[in-house]
Amino acid sequence: MITLDILCARFTTLDPGDLQRWIAEGHVRAERADQTLVFQEIDVERVRLILDLRETLAVNDDALPVVLSLLDQVYALRRQLRRAGLPPEAPG
């Protein structure tokens, strides 16, 4: 688990206010340990993804929920394909 301070140090472009909003909107999950927010590695990677979408692909705050939802659906379908024993990539 990683604390909020360490997360902000790791991602220097991360605004704590944005992170609080992403948590409130359900884009990122956080747990409380005493009075401190802590994040599992999967949520750290989710923050990395959101920052990359915003900074590299210029996804704005209005489009972010749609893009995240579509990506979540793609990842869920890939997991289902793997469980079914099918390759997640379409044959080329």
- Condensed to tens digits (0 to 9), the pLDDT of residues 2-48 reads 998 899 999 999 999 999 999 999 999 999 988 889 999 999 999 99
Residue 88 included in any domain: no
Structural domain includes residue 13: yes
CB of 54 closer than 8 Å to CB of 62: no
Residue 26: is it exposed, middle or buried by C-beta count within 10 angstroms (0-12/13-18/19+)? exposed
Closest CA to 19 of 32, 31, 29: 29
* CATH number of 74's domain: 1.10.1660.10
Residues 6+ apart with CB under 8 A from 76: none
Give the model's pLDDT for residue 82.
87
pTM of the model: 0.84
Specify the pLDDT at position 19: 94
Is there a domain that residue 89 lies in? no
**Total of domains in the chain:** 1
Domain that holds residue 51: 2-83
In a domain? residue 8: yes
Residue 60 in any domain: the answer is yes
**Residue range 60-82: mean pLDDT, rounded:** 93
Residue 11 inside a domain? The answer is yes
